[in-house]
Amino acid sequence: MKCDYVHIEEARVYGVKNPKFFVIGSVMDKNATFKILADGKEIEYHKLPNLANCGFCLEAELTNDMKKLEVYAIKDGKEELICVRENSKMHRIKTKIRKTLEPFEIKIKKIAHVFASFFKAIGRGFRFLWREHHLLVPPTLWGKYLKDFATKMKEIFRGGLYLDPGTPSDYQYWLKRQALAYPREEPKKLKYNPKISMVIPVYNVSRELLSDCLDSILNQSYTNFEICLADDKSTNKETIDTLKEYMKKDERIKVVFRKENGHISKATNSAIEIATGEFIGLMDNDDTLDQDALCEVAKLLNEDKTLDMIYTDEDKLDMKGNRRDPHFKADFSPDTLLSSNYICHFCVLRKKIVDKIGGFRVGYEGSQDHDLFLRFTEVSDRVGHIPKVLYHWRMIPGSTAATIDSKSYALERGKKCVEDALKRRKIKGEVTIKYNHYLVEYKYSKEPSISIIIPTKDHADDTRKCLVSVFDKTNYKNYEVVLVNNNSTEQELFDLIDEFKKKYKNFRVVDAPIPFNYSKINNMAVKTCKSDYIVLLNNDTELITGDWLKIMVGYAMQKHIGTVGVKLLYPDNTIQHGGVVLGVGGIANHAFLGESRDSIGLYARLALPHNYSANTAACFMVSRKKYDEVGGLEEELMVAYNDIDFNLKLLEKGYYNVFLPQVELYHYESKSRGLDTTTEKYKRFMKEQYYMYEKWDKYIDRDPFYNKNFSITKSFYLDK
């Protein structure tokens, strides 16, 4: 049942003995009213008064003999049926049973997962030992392998090493442990104490929630602030009375009472107009701040006074006051910001820049913050991030904190603000909504030239599979494939080369008759290329996405982007590469290793473009100009970490590396390169590892695109 001005988020009947009917959703017209019928007769309901502008929540008490429930929206005297539900005791009993058994179901799944992981680890261990040593393990490596195996078993059977931030009980456990491990300290005196104006639009919020909001600011350990509130012509007397009460309570509280309702953009601009601080802090009228939130902002400004924008991590408060759903954010990530408003709360901005860009724009309500952040970061890239949870976002039914679906209009306006950003930047691109966020595909009038470089030594079967997938599936014309032959000896490989030379004009071979050095081999091949863009591709990969070059080059041609990486899958459709995280498990590790292909990942990282410090060279694209600018791959790194080093050189130059999950390939992982003696391999590995620690210690110790609250042994989990 579709209604143009009402969106139902949830409607359910619950309660075995004393049934109740619960309906929540959003409404575009504040003058709309509702009525509920039970078996054709109107019944009374309660409407919660403390919802945001567009939210409503209806609750009605039922009797057991009521069967059919109907909800009508009423506008201008016209009634529209928006929801129908059945009331039966059996249905309510099933709901109760399902809710009761849910915790046990989770435990059973966890136990099953532990045993599955155990047998999978045993299998992988045997496959590794067979591939590397044919089960004849040198005595010098027994200790290392046994230690690795013991660590893996601990991880599996204790489960306990990690907590899932998306599980409320896990997060609450982590919060308690953090409080014990890092007790709060009294803030030290600061030399620089900028005035921060907290700007808050207010509309019909309950006294309880508004008081919690204001008290959380008044109780800040940092004192040089003011609170600028703009009431958007509230009709709730309780809201008005609370504002007047707090005006008298503290002289730092200022209120402007608007004469007409203008919604959130106009109301926030009214609050900004009365702000006198050097910075403004954005906050909703029902959320709360951590006691040291403003102090942490001031501390960062004391470290770097040039910062124009500072944001923090956040979590949510459910209706019972429990904290959940933390958002542990990366440092400033421009491509992630195009995909979603990951910055959100809590954010402090230099006021003169906000004034310069005209504050909030009318017509973008629901995504007004996202629009502001996109415009702000076009003026200044002096953005700081505090990796601490300092803002608590209230999950009121009907608000975007509870579910983005309850404000579906916000998605369309968010799409528009991303489209506007592309237009302002004079970039052609198409924006689509995906997983309640935004996917940008860049457009161009002429296909730039691309060279795909594939090193190989023998292994004709793997190389054939790779080449066939590229030539058969690629929906792009202006490319060439450069096969780099590194000391092949098998006739099958030479036959394959002859076959593809005859078949494809855009296929050629470069001989690299040198001892294996991955960096040098690729650098040699790049020097023979005249193309605008370079793709480094392993010969043990198989293409899935036909538009891969079309999509990747759109990103690679953006001025601020370094490497463009893709989603790589194991043959069993689990993730092999979902971006690279530094400092996890040593130098670096692939994110979301072993996750399902269908998983969208934490914060939709496996569904939408996100910035990472690095991408694997098993498949990435980069412009030839940028490749040469950083000197190509480091030839001192013969086997390991050369791709990580390359990515970090680009990062040092100010470029951003981006991972594109919409492009997929299979990666059969390192089948083609045989091993030297184990001792030689180990020595080389240790030398290259030492090189990375010496050169890139600051990134390995603190990956700017991986929040420091996450585990350093399992990406995007919390340590227990």
Judge whether 67 and 43 are in contact, CB under 8 Å. no
Q: Which residue has better confidence, 155 or 515? A: 515
**Range with lowest mean pLDDT among 398-402, 476-480, 623-627:** 398-402
User: Counting beta carbons within 10 angstroms of the beta carbon of residue 301, is it exposed (0 to 12), middle (13 to 18) or buried (19 or more)?
Assistant: buried
CA dihedral 179, 180, 181, 183 (to 10 degrees): 60
Read off the pLDDT of residues 174-219 as tens digits, 9 standing for 90 and up. Answer: 998 888 778 778 888 999 999 999 999 999 999 999 999 999 999 9
DSSP 8-state class, residue 599: -
If pLDDT is split at 50, 70 and 90, which confidence band does 400 have? very low
- Rounded to whole angstroms, the Cα distance separating 122 from 153 reads 10
- Rounded to whole angstroms, the Cα distance separating 539 from 496 reads 13
Judge whether 703 and 694 are in contact, CB under 8 Å. no
Percentage of the chain with pLDDT > 70?
Answer: 91
Q: Which residue has better confidence, 657 or 321? A: 657
- Rounded to whole angstroms, the Cα distance separating 75 from 213 reads 33
**Range with lowest mean pLDDT among 171-185, 447-461, 463-477, 663-677:** 663-677
> Which pLDDT score is estimated for 693?
92
If pLDDT is split at 50, 70 and 90, which confidence band does 113 have? low
Q: Which residue has better confidence, 579 or 24? A: 579
Identify which of 521, 577, 518, 569 has the alpha carbon closest to the alpha carbon of residue 545.
569
∠ CA 453-459-461, nearest 5°, is 95
Task: Say yes or no to pLDDT of 635 above 60.
Answer: yes
Q: What is the mean pLDDT of residues 404-416?
A: 74
> Which pLDDT score is estimated for 99?
66
> Which pLDDT score is estimated for 133?
76
Q: What is the mean pLDDT of residues 544-552?
A: 97
Task: Say yes or no to pLDDT of 104 above 70.
Answer: no
Read off the pLDDT of residues 304-330 as tens digits, 9 standing for 90 and up. Answer: 999 999 999 999 998 788 899 999 999
> Which pLDDT score is estimated for 22?
80
Q: Which residue has better confidence, 210 or 398? A: 210
> Which pLDDT score is estimated for 155?
58
**Range with lowest mean pLDDT among 103-117, 296-310, 488-502:** 103-117
- Sorted by sequence, the CB contacts under 8 Å of residue 287 that are 6+ apart come out as 213, 317, 345, 391, 392, 393, 394
Q: What is the mean pLDDT of residues 507-519?
A: 95
Q: Which residue has better confidence, 510 or 110? A: 510
> Which pLDDT score is estimated for 127?
78
Q: What is the mean pLDDT of residues 705-716?
A: 94
The residues pairing with 70 across neighbouring beta strands, listed in sequence order, are 37, 84
Tokens in use for 433? 């909504």
**Range with lowest mean pLDDT among 54-68, 367-381, 408-422, 496-510:** 54-68
How many Cα atoms sit within 13 Å of 491 on the Cβ side? 0
Q: Which helix (H) or strand (E) element contains residue 14?
A: strand 6-14
Domain extents for the chain?
A: 6-87, 103-159, 196-426, 450-719
CA dist list (Å): 186 to 291, 293, 365, 414:
11, 13, 39, 40
> Which pLDDT score is estimated for 5?
75
> Which pLDDT score is estimated for 115?
72
Task: Say yes or no to pLDDT of 437 above 70.
Answer: yes
Token pair 């491509």 in the structure block, residue: 335
Judge whether 311 and 199 are in contact, CB under 8 Å. no
Task: Say yes or no to pLDDT of 397 above 70.
Answer: no
> Which pLDDT score is estimated for 677?
44
- Rounded to whole angstroms, the Cα distance separating 57 from 51 reads 8
Read off the pLDDT of residues 18-65 as tens digits, 9 standing for 90 and up. Answer: 888 888 777 666 678 889 999 999 998 887 543 333 457 788 889 988
> Which pLDDT score is estimated for 50?
37
Percentage of the chain with pLDDT > 90?
Answer: 67
Q: What is the mean pLDDT of residues 233-253?
A: 95
- Rounded to whole angstroms, the Cα distance separating 92 from 58 reads 18
If pLDDT is split at 50, 70 and 90, which confidence band does 672 have? very low
Task: Say yes or no to pLDDT of 680 above 90.
Answer: no
Token pair 């998605």 in the structure block, residue: 411
Tokens in use for 609? 């473009």
- pTM of the complete model: 0.78
If pLDDT is split at 50, 70 and 90, which confidence band does 97 have? confident
Q: Kindly report the average pLDDT of the chain as a whole number.
A: 89
Judge whether 328 and 342 are in contact, CB under 8 Å. no
Domain 6-87 listed as CATH 2.60.40.1200: yes
Right CATH for 450-719 from 3.90.550.60, 3.20.20.70, 1.20.200.10, 2.60.34.30: 3.90.550.60
Q: Which helix (H) or strand (E) element contains residue 150?
A: helix 139-158
User: DSSP characters for 570-595?
Assistant: -TTSBEEES-EEETSSSSEEETTTT-
CATH topology match: 6-87 vs 450-719: no
> Which pLDDT score is estimated for 53?
38
Q: What is the mean pLDDT of residues 114-131?
A: 75
Strands (E), 318-379: 323-327, 347-350
**Range with lowest mean pLDDT among 150-159, 364-373, 532-541:** 150-159
If pLDDT is split at 50, 70 and 90, which confidence band does 665 have? very high
Q: Which residue has better confidence, 553 or 135? A: 553
332 preceded by cis ω (within 30°)?
no
Task: Say yes or no to pLDDT of 145 above 80.
Answer: no
> Which pLDDT score is estimated for 134?
76
- Rounded to whole angstroms, the Cα distance separating 295 from 37 reads 53
If pLDDT is split at 50, 70 and 90, which confidence band does 102 have? low
Read off the pLDDT of residues 225-240 as tens digits, 9 standing for 90 and up. Answer: 999 999 999 999 999 9
> Which pLDDT score is estimated for 440?
97
If pLDDT is split at 50, 70 and 90, which confidence band does 678 have? low
Fold for domain 196-426?
A: Spore Coat Polysaccharide Biosynthesis Protein SpsA; Chain A (3.90.550)
- Rounded to whole angstroms, the Cα distance separating 196 from 297 reads 10
